[in-house]
Structure 1
Amino acid sequence: MTSPLHLQSNADLHCHSTVSDGTLSPEALAARAVANGVELWALTDHDEVSGQARAMATAQSLGLPYLTGVEISVSFAGKVVHIVGLGFEHDDSALIEGLRQTRGGREQRAKEMAQGLQSVGIKGAFEGALRYVGNPELISRTHFARFLVDAGHCSDVPEVFRRFLTEGKPGYVPHRWAGLGDAVGWITRAGGLALIAHPGRYGFTPTEEYALITEFMAHGGRGIEVVTGSHSLAEMQQYTETALEFSLLASRGSDFHSPEESRCDLGRLSEHLSGRLTPVWSALQERIHWPHGTQP
């Protein structure tokens, strides 16, 4: 019998595998989570749930409690915002179809990105990026960035984004994402809980952020990431207050993609949730997949 999860548990509920834009398989991530002391884990690949069965099976075989997860890209106020879903039925047909439609158009977008890079003398970028893709339906800027680093055009991934892959740069092409209501609806109708991922990353004004949170909640969203690999200590404190102000459940996750690239290793977040917060897993106890014989 394991001890019940508590506020200070080492939960890591945000990471990515080769099914989207990570560099480790779901099985390798599960093993890494266990090695790094994770007590509750979720794999949250971008716009894709096909790795869920593998992640869940491996987690259970290793004695690791597991929550299903996904990270959905949506458009809001002219920016791409990410919504994490946790604890849903991963074989829900409406969720799967919604994600399939969201993924649509990535190949054409990638070819246009390659054309933009070719215009500044970088040839073969589409074919180069494909070498780093585990799932061709999810070819993304991250795969282009890995190619450009390994080909010697930039020293690291952040330099690639600064020079080539952000708005106004030669390799940037926008994508039409799902709507906020669509993403929250797919998650909640599949029995899960939706939360706003790494809110400190979007650069919204206070008015825009208020609009995001209130619209998100109006659609049925219930949580927000407070402790993440990309939040500073000040941002963690800021979104602690935000969660309290709006009575949102709080989550934590490293947003781990790769041992070589990520700011924070899986399971190695330095901060826990404040004792004033209600953790998201407290509302998902019945949705956790416990290893056989270990449910508290």
Structure 2
Amino acid sequence: MGTDGATALERQSRDPTRDLEARLTALESHIDDLEAELAAKDERIAALEADLEETTAENERLDARVADLEAHVEDVEDDLETRDARIEARLEAHERKLEATNDRVRELQARELEKGAHLRADTVDETELEVAGGTLERITKADGHTYYRLPEQADPLARGGEVTLAYGDLLPIQQLARMDEEMLRSTTSALPTRLAAKLWKARTDASVGDDPWEPGGAGIKAYVTASDLKHWIRRQEPGISDAYAKKLVSRMIDPLLDLSRNRLAIRRRTERKNGLEYTERRIVLPADVDIPGETTGSTDQ
């Protein structure tokens, strides 16, 4: 075999060795990369574990804080319940004392009334008093104040001066006009009658505000037209129709005349509108009629 053959054999024997060395080098490099990646993951795991420990510790701290707050809330609620119980007990005691005081006052007022006393109306709850006969009379005296007394009883002390107007002296419509809404409804269920009382009150009580009455001329103290009355009724009774309000005007006529003992009157007057003549009813209060408790220029009920 010549020199060239030996050289070829040597090259063939060296090539596998080089391949192995290259593969070994690549594997070692890959192992280094894996070890570096593993080390990075170990560091990341260590950091996460540290975060987890901190989070766990923070949660435990918060749980402890929540437990403290819940315990504090329970203490506060217990304290509030105790205070509420004490306050409620005190209120009940005050209410019992107040009711007992009111009972004594009512008893004293009833006894004084039965002895003939006249008591100021603003100090008396007439619905709560039990008096002989079961009836109280409302009167007005010379001092301008309103009083309660047993019917026809004279005040032995003559407080307030002479009686100028007793409730029984009032016209029925005046008596109804003095009632509040609840008492008026309990006295009469008829809407025309209640409206008649309210209409009278609108004329005599400035606090009502909605007054359809107009000042009259010669011989007429005041009047209200049927058309104005219809609109007034609709303001007093929201929701009713114009047609029903017109019917109520007619239905109010009899209560107005009867309850005023004919102090009110119905007059017809010819009016002109848009060139056309028409007749309109008027509810009239003549200037010369006697109204209990009223004098010229007075607006007392």
Fold equivalence (TM over 0.5) = no
Structure exhibiting the larger radius of gyration computed from Cα positions: 2
> Is the helix fraction higher in 1 or 2?
2
TM-score, scaled to structure 1? 0.21
Query: Which of structures 1 and 2 has the larger relative contact order (alpha carbons within 8 angstroms, sep 6+)?
Result: 1
